[in-house]
Amino acid sequence: MLSWRFLRVVGRAPPILFVARNNRSLVAKAFLTRSLAMSSENGGAPTDEKAAALGPDGKPLSKNALKKLEKEKEKERKKAEREAKQAEEAGAKDAEDYSKDRYAILPMAQSQEKTSKVWTKVKDLTLEAVGKRVLVRARLHTTRGTGKQCFMILRDRQYTVQGVCAVNDVISKAMVKFAAGINRESIIDVEGEVKSVDQKVQSCSQEDVEISVDKIFVVSLAEPRLPLQIEDASRPETDDEQAHVNQDTRLDNRIIDLRTVPNQAIFSIQAGVCNLFREFLTSQGFNEIHTPKIISAASEGGANVFEVTYFKGKAYLAQSPQLYKQMVLCADFDRVFTIGSVFRAEDSNTHRHLTEFIGLDIEMTFSEHYHEVIDMIGQTFVHIFKGLRDRYADDIAKVQKQYNSEPFKFLEPSLVLTYREGVDMLREAGVEMNYDEDLSTPNEKLLGKLVKQKYDTDFFILDKYPLCVRPFYTMPDPHNPEWSNSYDMFMRGEEVLSGAQRVHDPTLLTERAKLHEIDIEKIKAYIDSFRYGAPPHGGGGIGLERVVMLYLDLHNIRKSSMFPRDPKRVTP
């Protein structure tokens, strides 16, 4: 049985319940606490020495117990003083944040006002800018707080610079804490002085300078949890020790994925291919045109076409701008090119096929021989390759940090082989195939390796394909009807262009269309365009994404398509 006792301390104390036998420490603690309270109420000195000296058992306290009691009283008093001082200091700091106007999360930008502010691009922060005060808008790539200073990496597309925010006469500790707490990928405005650094900042593109930040404003705050980390998505493919981001995760979160420096460089190079293509052809007297993408019949023939409802009838998405390029030449435009979407309803889930891609198409008249067209297209590719090598070296280097590859090699003028010569090379390598067979993907790759070994070039042209493997509008060879005046062009052993001399005679064109089981009524306007005088002509179509993929040796066309479309993906 527990023995319970009540102790009534003389004075104003109410009864206190103690467990006398089984928990003497609890009794003592409760007693000491109550004694401290009584002492405090009486100005620190008990009014009754006997009451103050009585223990829980009603007997006077020993000297040691009294000393312990005094120590507890002193400890409680110091604690209360310390807490009061801390609260006072915190309040004073809040009241004295001398940087409070230098940092904030800005209200949503709704074009409220116009100012005379001038923003500087990160890429322009060089040694020439040292000593200047700049205003920079960038994404917050990373931050690292170290007490009284915060290091931040600011990213503007492919360019990065270090910013340092440190406590001083104008920057408070609260401002440094604010900077260190901003979520990654937020868009911020920073102001400060550009300074040179003693040691290069190896982690930044602008490695010779940094910004001494004294103002920082959040323009758009990113959510704290990102679907993928920029560092993981930028890591070299050869780094097996750290985390990587798989392809589906990248494509599902393409907006974040596209922010990486390698991806920014890839699509800078892609834009460069288009610019160089347009630049060269314009210099050669070509006109840029735009052709319909909704058509009445399959432009390439066959079943690989998307059928769409068109009001009360049906229409198709263009497999090629081919028919319209030819019609324009019949309208005396002479030389044309176009850049636009091409659609192929091929259920091909491979590294190089898309259901929608960007076509770079060329069409031109010639005076005597379709090799005039081959030469022009070959020169176009050479101009693109030289332009990428000379103007986009920095971008190529950024891509190679993640996707390592051998430099692309080409000849000037371009190497041209006949289809028969290509088949012979494959046969010599042990491949069994006939001259009237189309090249399979494995044979294309093998032929590319054989050509590289023999001619030291990653780009070549294969001429005179068998007629049976080409579209209906391909001109037959005049000396052997089993062959055709057609050609393909290859990069690193994969086809990037298919072209030919076109049939410009309406009678032969009708025969060829019937042979391919194409409804003549559906292409009547196309055939009729050749009835009023049509010049001999030819051209070809280039797949933009393939050119970029193969030039950079990316191994998958989805890396060179901004928002790829394949049989399994129509988002985002």
498 is a catalytic site residue = yes
From the candidates 235, 352, 492, 537, which is the catalytic residue?
A: 352
82 is a catalytic site residue = no
Report yes or no: 122 and 156 within 8 Å, Cβ to Cβ: yes
Q: What angle do CA 37, 40, 42 make, to 5 degrees?
A: 115
Structure tokens at 557: 């066309």
What would the DSSP string read from start to end of 353-400? --SEEEEEEEEEE-SS-THHHHHHHHHHHHHHHHHHHHH-HHHHHHHH
495 is a catalytic site residue = yes
Return the DSSP state at 474.
Answer: B
From the candidates 346, 356, 372, 494, which is the catalytic residue?
A: 346
Return the DSSP state at 225.
Answer: S
What would the DSSP string read from start to end of 154-209? EEETTEEEEEEEE-SSS--HHHHHHHHTSPTT-EEEEEEEEEE-SS--TTSSSTTE
Report yes or no: 31 and 68 within 8 Å, Cβ to Cβ: no
From the candidates 139, 155, 344, 492, which is the catalytic residue?
A: 344
From the candidates 34, 259, 353, 516, which is the catalytic residue?
A: 353
Considering just the CA atoms, what is the radius of gyration of the chain in Å?
A: 39
352 is a catalytic site residue = yes
Q: Which of 193, 239, 241, 200 is nearest to 215 (CA)?
A: 193
- CA distance linking residue 449 with residue 314, whole number of Å: 45
- CA distance linking residue 237 with residue 233, whole number of Å: 10
Q: At what angle do helices 419-428 and 441-455 cross, to 10 degrees?
A: 90
Cβ-count burial 269-300 (b if 16+ within 10 Å, e if not): bbebbeebbeebbeeeebeebebeeebbbbbb
The alpha helices in 254-370, defined as continuous H runs, are: 254-257, 261-283, 322-330
Question: Three-state SS across 26-90?
Answer: HHHHHHHHHHHHHHHHCCCCCCCHHHHHECCCCCECCHHHHHHHHHHHHHHHHHHHHHHHHHHHH
Cβ-count burial 10-36 (b if 16+ within 10 Å, e if not): eeeeeeeebeeeeeeeebbebbbebbb
From the candidates 185, 444, 495, 545, which is the catalytic residue?
A: 495
Report yes or no: 547 and 273 within 8 Å, Cβ to Cβ: yes
Strand partners, 476: 484
From the candidates 296, 320, 414, 498, which is the catalytic residue?
A: 498
From the candidates 546, 558, 560, 561, which is the catalytic residue?
A: 546
546 is a catalytic site residue = yes
Q: Is 571 exposed, middle or buried (0-12, 13-18, 19+ CB in 10 A)?
A: exposed
Residues with catalytic roles: 344, 346, 352-353, 495, 498, 546
